[in-house]
Amino acid sequence: MGGSSLALFLDPSNAAHLIQDLGALQHFGYQVPELLEPDEVRSLEPAVSDRVAAGLLIEQERHVRPETLTEALLTGLGKQGVQVRAGVDVVPRLDGKGRLECLDWNIGRVEADAFLIAAGVWSKKLAGLNEEEDPFGSR
């Protein structure tokens, strides 16, 4: 099974959710794996617990090392003149319509026509949005 991954599930409905998620990758050339019954799973991996109710053999498993990807992105952005700041305190400033106008941080103010906020689960808070707001609704 070189380059592949065997995903195991105690609940077959969880496997169905992953199949649906992987379906989004079909237009990139990935094949959607078929749901494996418990006996099919054990034929691939005999040591699997009897509690396993389903499996997926994902033939085209791929991954990246986050630190390598991040370093490459930072290098590429730097070559394009982009300044990336890490470890700074940021406070969003909203205009009269509740849209992000500028960012104040401990090294100065940043004003722009648009902001890309890539802070994971903290992005909405950083943009001054509450949990229910659609971040794209103000466009």
Instruction: Express each pLDDT in 95-109 by its tens digit.
Output: 888 777 877 887 788
Residue 135 is which amino acid?
A: P
- Count CA within 13 A, CB hemisphere, residue 74: 9
Q: Are 44 and 72 part of one and the same domain?
A: no
Residue span of the structural domain in which 41 resides: 5-58
CA atoms of 53 and 30, how far apart (whole Å): 24
User: Which of 58, 75, 92 is where one domain is finished?
Assistant: 58
Q: Are 78 and 122 part of one and the same domain?
A: yes
95 falls within a domain: yes
Task: List the single range of 1-15, 26-40, 42-56 with lowest mean pLDDT.
Answer: 1-15
User: Which of 58, 79, 94 is where one domain is finished?
Assistant: 58
134 falls within a domain: no
Q: Are 79 and 95 part of one and the same domain?
A: yes
Burial (CB count <10 Å: 0-12, 13-18, 19+), residue 56: buried
DSSP 3-state assignment of 26? helix
CA atoms of 44 and 22, how far apart (whole Å): 21
- pTM to 2 decimal places: 0.48
50 falls within a domain: yes
**Do you know the residue count of the chain?**
139
Instruction: Supply the pLDDT for residue 125.
Output: 74
